[in-house]
Amino acid sequence: MNSRENQASWDLAGTRRRHAVVIGASLAGLLAAHVLADHADRVTIVERDRLPQEPEQRPGVPQGRHAHVLLEGGQRALDALLPGFMDELRAAGAPRVGMPSDLVQWQDGRWFRRLPATTYIYTGSRPQLEQLVRRRVLAHPMIEVVEATSVVGLSGDASRVRGVLLRERGEGSRQEERLLEADLVVDASGRGTKAAQWLSAIGAEPPHEESIDTGLAYATRIYCDTSGSLGTQSLGYYVIANPSQVYGTVVLPLEDGRYLVTLSGLRGDEPPTDEEEFVAYAKRLPHPLVHRWLRTAEPQSPVSGFRQTANVRRRYDLPGRRPAGFLAIGDALCTFNPVYGQGMAVAAISAVALRDALADRRRTPTTRRVQQALLAASRQAWDISAGADKAMPGAIGNALTIRPIDRPVGWYLRRVQERSPGDPVVGRAFRSVLTLTAPVTALFAPKVVRAVLLGPVPATPAEPPMAREETRT
């Protein structure tokens, strides 16, 4: 980091108020803008799309048609940023799904006991959640949006970013670039960020990128349940892939009473987008449950595919010639294999980290310090996603190296996974970590360690458990 940063930083703890630009009206971008509005005279969000007034799909969110879950860690963060938000989401009809009680779930050759829920996820559509956040955030008088406009570069030099270069999009728009000056630029442009090129163009160093790519691909279609098998005793199905069984699926309820079905596979055997072949592909799953359900369900949409699923982490926290006044957040900083459902939760958790870093009166919130806080906010999700994907067959990337500590930790975590489907104590701890509500150290609490190291692998159902257990734990 440039040694002049402390002199050049945007001193948000001081009295001078300035202009912040956020690139992208993604969930991460909206929440970042909401936080920055407490520290700036003006916040401008620059968005490539024209934003819909209703919950609709838009081109800038190519994954928006696929399964999205809001983990409990993200729920807590959203309520901390936008008080009462989860009440609004519930009132809008977003389904609340208890884990493990409400899903028929398979992993590593075992069906999960459907014990009383210890955590809940929300499974409504991405457009619904994003529209509710957008409505709350854009009501702030300090925040404005420039729509149908692309950021094509940065203004400034290797010591400081001073704005962004914009170009309007669409027919009849002006093609020349224009400068939008800013004291702080936050890149929330997502997985396809061009920040590396932008930084190089002003003489700065792009961040080192760590990546792990399993080649996972998935396809999604919306259905109505005509069998009546979902909606009461169970709310969905979940088959989790692993190194020895690489096919997965989720069948999850949407806010309108329909069900979103996603099938996944690896490079070379990707799920098809052909409508008839989509159903046939479900035969690859380790049990015919979902295939049988699909044969009777009524399709409500075309099949949509998605292939960009690599884990990528951009290490802005490492030393390098990088400018003050530029931050990355959300998928522009750290993007995860979407199969783990972490993206929306991490966007909200990162916005809380941004808020806390800017509010810390003990230290000046320099670019480097704030960027370190944002990376730390995504670290647990990265460890989960990248750690699991290292073991998948055919994984490629520069972050596949197995460290000495990985072997004993991996051995312990395999024992945790073996016991989590049937052991209430281990299952509760494991879910708390996966849903980002507890640190990884929760897996090393004394009662969990005893069950993992000394207890047997508990019995689990031999066939899909179609009813909840009433046992209280």
Instruction: Convert the pLDDT of each residue in 167-206 to its tens digit.
Output: 998 766 567 899 999 999 999 999 999 999 999 999 999 9
Among the candidates 388, 403, 423, a domain finishes at 388
223 and 335 fall within a common domain: no
Q: What is the pLDDT of residue 15?
A: 36
Tokens of 25: 């009206």
Residue 12 has pLDDT above 50, yes or no: no
Partners of 104 in beta bridges:
237
Give per-residue burial for 393-426: e unless 16+ CB within 10 Å, then b.
eebebebeeeeeeeeeeeeebebbbbbbbbbbbb
Residue 6 has pLDDT above 50, yes or no: no
pLDDT over 90 percentage in the chain: 85
Query: What pLDDT band is residue 17 in, cutting at 50, 70 and 90?
Result: low
Residue with more model confidence, 55 or 80:
80
Q: Would you say residue 426 lies in a domain? A: no
Residue with more model confidence, 427 or 174:
427
Sorted by sequence, the CB contacts under 8 Å of residue 36 that are 6+ apart come out as 20, 22, 43, 184, 186, 354, 358
- Tokens 């457009």 belong to 127
Among the candidates 388, 407, 423, a domain finishes at 388
197 and 231 fall within a common domain: no
Is pTM, for the whole model, over 0.75?
yes
Query: What pLDDT band is residue 13 in, cutting at 50, 70 and 90?
Result: very low
Please give the full DSSP string across 380-429, using - where no structure is assigned: HHHHHHHHHHHTSTT-BSTT-PPPTTHHHHHHHHHHHHHHTTT-HHHHHH
Q: What is the pLDDT of residue 129?
A: 96
- Tokens 């309820």 belong to 253
294 and 315 fall within a common domain: no
**Domain coverage including residue 255:** 216-306
Among the candidates 388, 413, 434, a domain finishes at 388
CB 95 within 8 A of CB 230: no
Taking only Cα atoms into account, the Rg of the chain, rounded to an integer number of angstroms, comes to 23
Q: What is the pLDDT of residue 471?
A: 59
183 and 197 fall within a common domain: yes
Whether cis (ω within 30° of 0) applies to the bond prior to 100 is: yes
Angle between helices 27-36 and 126-138 (to 10 degrees): 20
- Tokens 């962004």 belong to 164
245 and 314 fall within a common domain: no
Compute the distance between CA of residue 427 and CA of residue 411 in angstroms, rounded to an integer: 17
163 and 222 fall within a common domain: no
Compute the distance between CA of residue 24 and CA of residue 52 in angstroms, rounded to an integer: 14
289 and 327 fall within a common domain: no
Query: What pLDDT band is residue 382 in, cutting at 50, 70 and 90?
Result: very high
User: Average pLDDT of the chain?
Assistant: 93
**Counted domains in the chain:** 2
Give mean pLDDT, residues 259-286. 96
